[in-house]
């Protein structure tokens, strides 16, 4: 496929930055950056200098993984350069000038999947692994990633293949399995269906419980315009430089910053991304503000001497009030803010940070399970529709129509396959003959 490139480390000053490239016949395309140099040996670190008009630009380590033994199955090249953001940007632009386009989000994984290097389930476990806010969740995702048979959908599939094989055995061997002529062990089939239903419901409810708008402990900064929310946002994030990685808000029109604390990540959202209206919570309509506030774990309501206001509606979300710009003016005696700070002079920040830290710690203290879970909304959807076909099969069996029950289950097989990939018919027959002694 056409070659792509992306930085895989953040554009912040750090010792090493890594660029990754993937595509067919990759080396000839970037070799103009390394004039006169032969194609590096596969899987060996090679020290090189990209040059422009004879001028060496940086000293980099280059790793070449020829197809098909690579992350994506195509040729992959990794360039480890010095991690100065300007340097990385310039190298990127040079590479793009060779006709290699920037990768779209998730494009490397997509290629791995399409080239059979990564199953859909694994790709989703990988995604959950990378974005896990705590180590226990990282471990949970890694368990699914490294041992696919421990993924809940695999456990489900195993039980389901058992169920289908029971149906097939009872269907095609009435004489072998029915001691009492033509009665079939209804209760065996029903109990297998019930156990699958229970398992599915449990997994779906676990997923729903864990499913939140923000996967980490999340804090929203809100308040009247010009109360200094953004300065506060920056101050909180910059409190620990090495661990900060600010990135633009995704779809939520919010600025997001992540603070990685030892027991779990803290996500800080700044509603000051909007500056277009005089609305009481800048730019966000009341409805949207209500919604965002209900999705976060903590609301920091920021006031300042210019135009102090109170939150115009009631919320169930835990709220802390902050008097910012305390260096300009102290809070009026009528108000009793939880924190009095100055983002400019850093007054009161230490006390605010230590409270945020302990709230984060409390939040994660009861989430220590490393059991594998469903990884994505897609998996949960597949499981829900699978559950519906189980329910139909249960109904059909209860009203005595075995053939219709089986038909529902076979449909369920396809729905489950949407979640986990193909279940081979051979696998089902193998199960039929290994579980039942059939035939005369």
Contact residues for other proteins, defined by CB under 8 A: 1, 73, 111, 113-116, 119-120, 167-168, 170-176, 181-184, 399-404, 406-407, 410-411, 414, 421-424, 429, 433-434, 437-440
In whole angstroms, give the CA distance from residue 57 to residue 50.
6
Q: Whose Cβ is closer to other proteins: residue 260's or residue 401's?
A: 401
CB of 417 to other proteins, least distance (A): 8
For residue 131, the SS3 value is helix
Three-class DSSP category at 78: strand
Tell me the closest approach of the beta carbon of residue 88 to other proteins, in angstroms.
29
Q: Measured from the CB of residue 378, what is the shortest distance to other proteins in angstroms?
A: 13
183: tokens are 């009665």
For residue 51, what is the enclosing H or E element? Answer: strand 51-52
Q: What is the nearest approach in angstroms of other proteins to the Cβ of residue 396?
A: 9
- Which one-letter DSSP state was computed for residue 359? H
Q: Which is nearer to other proteins, 353 or 423 (CB)?
A: 423
The answer to whether 316 and 294 are in contact (CB under 8 A) is yes
Nearer of residues 167 and 199 to other proteins, judged by Cβ: 167
The beta-strand segments (E) located in 171-292 are 217-222, 255-261, 264-270
Positions of E strands within 271-346: 298-303, 318-323, 339-340
Of 231, 229, 255, 259, the residue nearest 322 (C-alpha): 229
Identity of the residue, 1 or 188, whose beta carbon is nearer to other proteins in the bound complex: 1
- Cis before 68 (ω within 30): yes
Measured from the CB atom, the residue of 313 and 433 that comes closer to other proteins is 433
Parallel, antiparallel, or unpaired: how do β-strands 255-261 and 217-222 relate? unpaired
Minimal distance, residue 19 CB to other proteins, in Å: 23
Instruction: Please state, in angstroms and rounded to a whole number, the distance separating the CA atoms of residues 289 and 237.
Output: 23
Give which of 374, 223, 238 is closest to 307, Cα–Cα: 223
Give start and end residues of each alpha helix (H) in 225-348: 229-237, 286-295
Residue placing its CB nearer to other proteins in the complex, 75 or 265 = 75
In terms of CB distance, is 93 or 399 closer to other proteins? 399
Q: Minimum distance from CB of 119 to other proteins (Å)? A: 8
Task: Give the nearest distance from C-beta 205 to other proteins in angstroms.
Answer: 28
Entry field: residues in the chain: 440
Cα–Cα dist 117/68, whole Å = 9
Radius of gyration of the chain from Cα atoms? 29
Cβ atoms of residues 32 and 98 within 8 Å: yes
Q: Sign of the CA dihedral 422, 425, 430, 432?
A: positive
Minimum CB separation of residue 435 from other proteins in Å reads 10
C-beta of 96 vs 175, nearer to other proteins = 175
The nearest distance, CB 24 to other proteins, in angstroms, is 10
- Nearest to other proteins of 231, 407 (CB atom): 407
């Amino acid at each position: 496929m056409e070659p792509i490139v992306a930085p895989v480390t953040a554009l912040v000053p750090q010792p090493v930055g890594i660029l990754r490239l993937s595509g067919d016949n990759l080396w000839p395309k970037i070799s103009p950056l390394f004039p006169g140099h032969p194609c590096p040996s596969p899987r060996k670190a090679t020290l090189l200098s990209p040059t422009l008009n004879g001028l060496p630009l940086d000293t980099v380590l280059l790793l070449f993984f020829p197809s098909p033994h690579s992350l994506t199955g195509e040729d992959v090249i990794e360039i480890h350069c010095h991690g100065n953001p300007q340097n990385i940007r310039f190298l990127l632009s040079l590479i793009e000038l060779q006709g290699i386009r920037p990768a779209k989000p998730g494009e490397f994984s997509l290629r791995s999947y399409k080239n059979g290097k990564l199953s859909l389930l694994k790709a989703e476990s990988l995604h959950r692994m990378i974005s896990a806010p705590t180590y226990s969740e990282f471990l949970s995702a890694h368990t699914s990633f490294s041992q696919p048979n421990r993924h809940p959908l695999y456990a489900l599939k195993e039980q389901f293949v058992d169920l289908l094989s029971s149906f097939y055995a009872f269907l095609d061997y009435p004489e072998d399995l029915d001691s009492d002529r033509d009665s079939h062990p209804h209760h065996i089939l029903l109990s297998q269906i019930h156990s699958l239903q229970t398992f599915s419901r449990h997994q779906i409810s676990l997923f729903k419980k864990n499913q939140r708008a923000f996967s980490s402990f999340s804090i929203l900064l809100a308040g009247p315009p010009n109360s200094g929310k953004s300065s506060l946002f920056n101050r909180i994030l910059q409190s620990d430089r090495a661990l900060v990685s600010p990135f633009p808000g995704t779809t939520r029109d919010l600025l997001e910053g992540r603070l990685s604390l030892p027991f779990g990540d803290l996500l800080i959202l700044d509603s000051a991304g909007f500056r277009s209206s005089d609305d009481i919570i800048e730019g966000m309509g009341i409805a949207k503000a209500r919604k965002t506030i209900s999705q976060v774990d903590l609301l920091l309501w920021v006031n300042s001497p210019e135009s102090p206001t109170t939150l115009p509606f009631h919320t169930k979300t835990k709220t802390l009030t902050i008097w910012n710009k305390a260096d300009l003016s102290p809070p009026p005696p009528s108000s009793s803010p939880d924190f009095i700070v100055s983002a400019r002079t850093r007054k009161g920040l230490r006390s605010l940070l230590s409270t945020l830290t302990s709230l984060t710690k409390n939040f994660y203290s009861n989430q220590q399970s490393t059991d594998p879970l469903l990884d994505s909304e897609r998996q949960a959807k597949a499981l829900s529709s699978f559950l519906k076909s189980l329910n139909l099969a249960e109904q059909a069996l209860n009203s005595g129509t075995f053939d219709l029950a089986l038909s529902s289950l076979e449909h369920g097989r396809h729905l489950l396959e949407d979640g986990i990939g193909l279940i081979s018919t051979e696998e089902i027959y193998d199960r039929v003959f290994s579980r039942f002694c059939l035939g005369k």
